Structure 1
């Protein structure tokens, strides 16, 4: 597949991708969009010009909206048909290449638009599905012998997080405050977090509503998943370590999470399917699955001090996940929990087997005992004020590249 739109061979947004997002065009109006190379395409105007007339199931201009939710809810038969139609009209032999009126009114350079949150997120769940990350954290806090708790290899562990504080890439994050208990003190203290961290994650977005009492099986799960985003689940480690017993994360996590603005569909990620890690012991029947459910997505994390260079501090891969998306959604709903369109389910920190692939500062600096050294000699145990964290992700295979762009966020001093 080739397009009449020129773009660099290293672009995340090739004709093989066709992601979906929401943008402000000309500082005037908001609409759903897609992207190829550095061109952002206004889908609402394309709809008005009749480009999607032959697709059954679209009875109104769902792209004339502030979120993708209405479009996503139409389901895979419609959203997949729209994606394929966009690929066709962007092809190298497309008549659109000579339609100067449509090109002028629907195509915008990426620097002419402002990207928005792609979906309204009714509910958010964070899983804990990387065995390497869970083992590393367990070693730090419980020791080598008790690194993994007894339930970890039997269920995709997770918790319900705060949907209201999920923000789009480029949004500043204010350093949180809370209670902490340093090891050398007998009582907790209050103040700004001193151990601020990122978590390298990905998240999937659900495209349907279910009723209470219904479940989604592993075989049904991918029909219920529209696509994926990069996800940075900011964490206040010192606040978290004091509060998490007995009920788990609270103020240490709910102050902010950042997502990439482009939702990449499962269909676009199809070339990057790969086998899952072996699960031992064998999981219960409702968690068993067929086929390749993991995806080979290369992930990078950069730390940029204020007015400084970007420092590549982590390279990991989504294929390391012990529990896959189908298992996560099946487990989440096996008790009859209902889901809603736009619900977001994060993977949990994605770490590999060596330090270079660890997905958090907690691991990279081993709880502050082994600081990272940046390009100009600066050291980091955790994230400092005015540091920016940038995450990137892409799949690449046999000349096909599909990526997510980036998710970034700058840490501002505590209020």
Structure 2
């Protein structure tokens, strides 16, 4: 799929992708939708205003207002069939043999107003997030952490393989890639075996390598989403770092689970990769030998999406190391299963709701999605140049990358999900 627009080999934003996001510029600070393409973005508000969708009959002119909104919620709510047609149309616009040359390729005026450099725009949260639910679908991570805390015989709780375990997170502190976060303060036990907490900045601040899924269609209150229909409710996917203060979590999580250890910040990547763009990369996840309840049984066997994942840590002194290389195939539960389980009680999901996969880890060293696993609970250190880390220090920047495909000219990627840890506020 060749393009008349120069797209560097290895770009996450090939013509096979067309991810959606929200941008602004210094010259036009109003937020509006865009798609990323190579080292450029197509400003969809300017493109629509300039007649770029004049040849697109699948979306009535009266609905083009969705491309002038300050979030992607209205576009997401149109449903996956519409997302599919819009993406295909934009791919055709950028093809070398485009059937619509007058819309952009042969329209220098519209190119000047609608085709911007990626480096010249500011990205923002792509959707308004009403609710955020974080699952625990990475079985290797669950087993590794369970072994640290409870021993190998009791690593996984009895319910783990029967249902997708999750907790409700804090949507107000979900931030877009590039947003710095202050180290959280909270109650922690001062030493192993202690029983009286102290209040201080977290000393065991960690990362959690995850994927996130945005809901496009909602379901009515009381109506469960069937597992084999659930993919149609997903708008698209992002990278996610579910930052975790392990020492705060250790003290607070009994009996109701994480709270302040998680609610200080969750970082997501800026560009939403549509579900259709990832359709060619479906694969088999981890096997589950448990006889599932009927509402979790899928007809589709290649039920997870294969995404290559990497994590870098860069210190304030400039040392940098890739500490994790793994794959999203290390998930026990699929996104449709997560949606089906979330709604089986009658819970109504809404457009813009965000679901997290849980930490994604492989089987071997260098494939773990958290420092807690890599350092065996802080007993070992990770070398980063001439520095070491057991957990994150102030000034550290974490960069997550993810992409599907092996052809460097047709990657379907997410860009980066970055965040720097700042000193705790007084």
**Cα distance in 1 for residues equivalent to 2:26 and 2:111:** 15
Which residue number corresponds to residue 227 of structure 1?
A: 236
Q: Give, in angstroms, the shift of residue 26 of structure 1.
A: 3.6
**Cα distance in 1 for residues equivalent to 2:146 and 2:348:** 31
**Cα distance in 2 for residues equivalent to 1:180 and 1:34:** 44
2:422 maps to 1:412:
yes
**Cα distance in 1 for residues equivalent to 2:230 and 2:155:** 30
Which residue number corresponds to residue 262 of structure 1?
A: 271
Q: 1:68 aligns with which of 54, 65, 72?
A: 72
**Cα distance in 2 for residues equivalent to 1:294 and 1:88:** 28
Which residue number corresponds to residue 285 of structure 2?
A: 276
Which residue number corresponds to residue 323 of structure 2?
A: 313
**Cα distance in 1 for residues equivalent to 2:147 and 2:61:** 52
Q: Give, in angstroms, the shift of residue 130 of structure 1.
A: 0.8
Which residue number corresponds to residue 203 of structure 1?
A: 212
What's the Cα RMSD here? 1.2
Which residue number corresponds to residue 78 of structure 1?
A: 82
Cα-to-partner distance string for 1:110-150 (whole Å, 9 max, x where unaligned): 11100011010000000001110000010000011100010
**Cα distance in 1 for residues equivalent to 2:89 and 2:52:** 8
Which residue number corresponds to residue 121 of structure 2?
A: 113
Q: Is the 8 A contact 2:242 2:262 kept in 1?
A: yes
**Cα distance in 2 for residues equivalent to 1:265 and 1:168:** 17
Q: TM-score, normalization: structure 2?
A: 0.95
Cα 1:248/1:27, change in 2 over 3 Å:
farther
- 5+ long unaligned stretches in structure 2: none
**Cα distance in 2 for residues equivalent to 1:284 and 1:309:** 49
Q: Is the 8 A contact 1:58 1:78 kept in 2?
A: no
Q: Is the 8 A contact 1:195 1:236 kept in 2?
A: yes
Q: Is the 8 A contact 1:297 1:317 kept in 2?
A: yes
> Which is worse superposed, 183-192 or 100-109?
183-192
Q: 2:348 aligns with which of 314, 338, 344?
A: 338
Q: Give, in angstroms, the shift of residue 58 of structure 1.
A: 5.7
> Which is worse superposed, 287-296 or 187-196?
287-296
Q: When the two structures are aligned, how many residues end up with a matched partner?
A: 414
Which residue number corresponds to residue 366 of structure 1?
A: 376
- Superposed, 1:285-324 pairs within 5 Å as 285-291=294-300, 292-324=302-334
Q: Is the 8 A contact 1:52 1:82 kept in 2?
A: no
2:130 maps to 1:127:
no
2:246 maps to 1:249:
no
Q: TM-score, normalization: structure 1?
A: 0.98
Q: Give, in angstroms, the shift of residue 310 of structure 1.
A: 2.5
Q: Is the 8 A contact 1:135 1:148 kept in 2?
A: yes
**Cα distance in 1 for residues equivalent to 2:76 and 2:158:** 38
Q: Is the 8 A contact 1:57 1:74 kept in 2?
A: no
> Which is worse superposed, 355-364 or 177-186?
177-186
Which residue number corresponds to residue 189 of structure 1?
A: 198
Q: Give, in angstroms, the shift of residue 27 of structure 1.
A: 4.0
Q: Secondary structure at the match of 1:314?
A: strand
Q: Give, in angstroms, the shift of residue 31 of structure 1.
A: 1.0
Q: Is the 8 A contact 1:16 1:402 kept in 2?
A: yes
Q: Secondary structure at the match of 2:142?
A: helix
**Cα distance in 1 for residues equivalent to 2:290 and 2:214:** 29
Cα-to-partner distance string for 1:86-132 (whole Å, 9 max, x where unaligned): 00000012312221011111011111100011010000000001110
Q: Secondary structure at the match of 2:67?
A: coil
Which residue number corresponds to residue 102 of structure 1?
A: 110
Q: Is the 8 A contact 1:57 1:78 kept in 2?
A: no
**Cα distance in 2 for residues equivalent to 1:4 and 1:341:** 35
> Which is worse superposed, 97-106 or 393-402?
393-402
